[in-house]
Amino acid sequence: MNTIKILFFILILFPACQRGEEIRYIPLSAFDKSFINYSEFEAVPFIHSNGFEFNLIVESKTISTRQSETKHPRDDYTTYEVLRCKLNSVEPELNIEISVMPKAYEPFLRITVGDKGFFFNTQSPPDMDSIILNNTAYFDIFLLGSGVYDTTVIFPSGILYTKEEGILLIKMSNNETFTIQK
């Protein structure tokens, strides 16, 4: 009798455990990938506003897949590709992750510096035409702000970014900066 009860419950529970089906797979396009031009293990020279020079190292650059969130486990889902790039430095210890999703899914590029996150819409036009940093001109610049205004804590508050060079400048909330030095 007990065996019959257990089998009965399994039969009832089994369909509830099944996942929905993948209804769409969205790969990254060449346009999406063009937003992260770093090469794996590349060293990008930076200088702090007080003159200290260091390299940001591209630790990894990978494409992975994620599944869209669903309300119920049995709902169908979309799988999409994400390009992720991790950069870090030892002194100062900066830990940065840049990720871009397909324009066809959610057209966002996201940058996290430590605990702080920044993002911009990859379909939006650049915010600035050009800027000169450390005697080098850069074009088509995106401005990213963290939207956090706690003045008692020093944290990354803004980033300048281009498709070609990646991060040009990280501005801290106390006005110190980390600037690319090509």
Partner 1 sequence: MKPSLFRNSIAILLLISLIWSCNKDECFDIDHLDFYSEEISKWYVNDSIESFTIIDNNGVSQTLQITGRDLHITDKSTYDDCGNSYGSSYYSVSYKTSVSPISFGVFISGSSFENGFTLRLNYNRRIEPIVGKETVYNFVSRKSLDNVSEIEYLDNFSVNEYEFSDVLEITFINTSFENEVKTVYFAKGYGIIKFVTQNGNEFGIK
Binding residues for partner 1, rule: CB under 8 A, are 48, 50-52, 54, 90-95, 113-115, 152-156, 172, 174, 176
In angstroms, give the least distance from the CB of 33 to partner 1.
25
Lookup: tokens for 23: 């209804």
In angstroms, give the least distance from the CB of 63 to partner 1.
20
In angstroms, give the least distance from the CB of 52 to partner 1.
4
Q: Which is nearer to partner 1, 54 or 161 (CB)?
A: 54
Cα Dmax for the chain: 83
CA separation, residue 103 to residues 45, 51, 121 (Å): 30, 38, 9
CA separation, residue 87 to residues 11, 77, 90, 91 (Å): 49, 31, 11, 13
In angstroms, give the least distance from the CB of 36 to partner 1.
20
Best CA proximity match to 111, nearest among 102, 99, 121: 99
Lookup: tokens for 82: 């994400």
Q: Which is nearer to partner 1, 109 or 170 (CB)?
A: 170
Q: Which is nearer to partner 1, 40 or 176 (CB)?
A: 176
